[in-house]
Structures are given as C-alpha cells and as structure tokens.
Amino acid sequence: MTMAAKAVERYRGPEYRRLLQAARRRLEGNGGTLEGSIGVGDPDEAERKALIGITGRPRTAGTLARAARVLEFLTTRPEDDAEITLAGLAAKITGHPKTLDHPAGLSTLVLRALAIRAGVPAPGTAEERRELWDRYEVVVDDLASRILVLNLPAEGEGLGEWLTAAARFGTPFQVTLHQLGTFAITLRAPVVHVCENPAVLRRAAAELGPDCPPLVCTEGRPSTAFHRLAGTAVHGGARLRYHGDFDWPGVDMAGAVARRYGAEPWRMTAADYLAGLANLGDLLEGDEHLRLTGRPVPAPWDPALGDSMREKGIAVYEEAVAEPLLADLGG
C-alpha cells in the first residue's frame, strides 16, 4: 500500500467521521476557502485523541484560526507572486515575526497541513522543514535555497562575474537565493535548458564542458532560488526548455514551469516516455521503485503522455533518458 493510500485509510475510522463532516460543511458553506475554524462538540476520548494526532497537541481556537489564515494565504496566492520570508509571513498573519518558528505549535500545525496537501510525510528535521516551506516559496534560509547552473554567463558585479568565469571553464556553479538577492544580474541567453536531476548536468559538464549551452538543474522540486533565476532569465528574453522525471510529480512540475514562465516541455512527450521505457529493458523486472504512485497529473502539452503513463504504470527517471538530452545539448 502506498503512503498516500495509507494516509487515506487512516482517516476512515469512526473517530474522524464527525470532524471530517464538519470540515466538509465548512468548505461547502464558504465556497471551498479555508476561512474560519471547525470543531467537534463534546468529543469522546477517541475523537479527542484523533484531533491531537492531526494537530500534534491540543490546540486553542486562536491557534487553529491563525493556521487557517496561513494556509489560505499560501494556497491561494498567484503562482507568480513574490516569495516571502518565514518571519514576514508570521508578521503578516499574526503580527509577530516569531510565531511560525519551530517548534511553535502554529508552525507544527501548518507544516502538517502543508505536508498532507503536498502528499509528503510530515517533516521531522530542519532540512525537511526548510524544503517544505520552500515548496510554497516561503524562505526560511536564503543560503539553503539554491539552484545548480552550468554555462550561464551574466552581466553584473559579483554574481554576474562569477557566473561568467564559471561558464568560461565549463564548470557547474551553485547559486543561492542570498546571492540572487544581493547582486543584480542580467541574463542574455536566448535559450536556457532546465533539467531535474544533477546527474544530467554532471554528464553535460563532463562531456561537453564549455560548449554546453546554458543549463540549470532544479535538483528536484524547483526552489525559490530557481524561480528567482528563471524570472530573471525570462525577463532578459530567454526561452526555457524544461525536462523532468516521467512520474506524476515530474509531470506536475513541468506543467507548473510551463504555465508560469511559458517554458517549452523538452523531450516530455508520450513518444519520449515510451522510448525511455524501452531503454529500461530488464530493469523493469520486479523493481518496485519504478512503479508509478500517487495521483495522475494531466500533461496539457501532450495528453497522450498521461494516457501512456497510466497504461504502463512505470516511472522513467531522467537518468534513463540522458542520452537524447545530451545529444540536444551537444547539437
């Protein structure tokens, strides 16, 4: 049973029934927004434990209302809205910059809800908390939010000079959100290729060196640093070409980057998926890691892609299709 299925099964118990009914009535009554709070009158012991299990500890109605306002802000703001710091978010919602710091109860409650919405486990370490906040473009640490780039020369003092020097030698370079906020740069590249896995960028650096066209790697889900750099590139006239994993999160990320920046999906068609599947060959036998899990996501640029992925039920990760990507970059 997948993690998502286990989560759904967990909340089928009778102790959650009244709470979920109250939540449904609230959502139906206010058009699906997260405004207001819900509760269960006269909870029995099982219901009380269930509520504590969701929130981590007993909560006051002030805490729950604040959490609802934080969630509404994060899940309804436009995709192209500027990032916000954790302290700025806390001050905006509660009037105090420290209320969302770990291990405050409000922080724990909001992160649990965001993890459920994203379909990931609740964060247990500082790095996992940073990554979850970053997924919603809330900046906890502008040094931890970064983007890996190869051959992306730029104009401007400091960062622009470093990027240009790195491109001259064809060496990968890590750019942090702190650098992007400190130094103003201008990018003039006509096309910037984007990949998801650093293994692709590493091979491009090794095999193509300074001759590789501009390439950036998200290293998983695009970070706030990626969004800042991508916006700068598009503003300078660049066209983005995006490639990611052939799994449902990968398709979801490709669609989000396409919507936000007008990016062109790069070798992300049904034909590319099936070719990658054929290349896996015997690796498919008994490898549960390659089974597609999670909610299917449409691919508007090629509806046949989603159909093929649902039919085959197999994920094709970027490393397995690196050859045609490198051929494009080398061409």
pLDDT along the chain (331 residues), means of 10: 47 71 64 54 66 58 87 84 87 92 91 90 91 90 93 97 98 96 95 97 98 97 94 96 97 95 97 92 65 92 97 94 97 85
pLDDT of res. 3? 42
pLDDT of res. 240? 98
Neighbours of 134 (CB within 10 A): 23
Q: How far, in Å, CA of 99 to CA of 124, rounded? A: 19
Domain boundaries, the chain: 3-139, 146-330
Q: How far, in Å, CA of 75 to CA of 116, rounded? A: 13
Closest among 150, 188, 156 to 169, alpha carbons compared: 150
pLDDT of res. 284? 60
| Residue 141 CB-half CA count within 13 A | 11
Contacts with 111 (C-beta within 8 Å, 6 or more apart), sequence order: 122, 123, 129, 132, 133
Angle between helices 224-235 and 248-261 (to 10 degrees): 40
Q: How far is CA 178 from CA 140, 152, 174, 270, in A?
A: 11, 18, 11, 38
C-beta separation of 299 from 254 below 8 A: yes
Burial 55-87 (b: 16+ CB within 10 A, else e): beeebeeebbebbbbbbebbeeeeeeeebbbbb
For the chain, the first-to-last Cα distance in angstroms comes to: 44
The first and second tokens of residue 73, run together, are 């802000």
C-beta separation of 239 from 283 below 8 A: no
pLDDT of res. 202? 97
CATH architecture of the domain 146-330 equals 3-Layer(aba) Sandwich (3.40)
pLDDT of res. 302? 97
pLDDT of res. 60? 67
Whole-prediction pTM value? Answer: 0.73
pLDDT of res. 7? 45
C-beta separation of 51 from 43 below 8 A: yes
